[in-house]
């Protein structure tokens, strides 16, 4: 469930962690197809210069989430 204060990508990560995944599951973790599509859409809009301020913030959240997941996987 996505809330107004929690970006979808972080909700997805929290749901995944709440299931106490194995090391293998963590290493295989990927965002949902819906989340990946949204990130692609925002990147396209960013490249074309048509992002709104709200979308720019959402895109930055995707970047922070990606960094978090990379750091997490690197420590396993």
Task: Please give the pLDDT value at position 5.
Answer: 59
Q: Is residue 14 part of a domain?
A: yes
**Which of 60, 71, 69 has the alpha carbon at shortest distance from 30?**
69
- Would you state the pLDDT for residue 25? 97
Q: Give how many domains the chain has, as a whole number.
A: 1
How many residues make up the chain in this entry?
A: 76
Q: What local confidence, expressed as pLDDT, does residue 7 receive?
A: 84
Domain containing 32 equals 8-74
Helices (H) and strands (E) in the chain, counts: 4, 0
DSSP-assigned letter for residue 71: H
Q: Does 32 map to a domain?
A: yes
Q: Please report, in tens digits, the pLDDT of each residue of the chain (76 residues total).
A: 444 557 889 999 999 999 999 999 999 999 999 999 999 999 999 999 999 999 999 999 999 999 999 999 999 9
């Amino acid at each position: 469930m996505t809330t107004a204060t929690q970006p979808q990508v972080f909700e997805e990560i929290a749901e995944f962690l709440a299931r106490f995944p194995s090391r293998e599951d963590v290493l295989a973790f990927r965002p949902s197809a819906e989340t990946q599509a949204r990130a692609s859409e925002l990147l396209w809009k960013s490249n074309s210069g048509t992002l709104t301020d709200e979308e720019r913030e959402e895109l930055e959240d995707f970047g922070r989430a990606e960094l978090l997941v990379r750091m997490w996987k690197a420590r396993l």
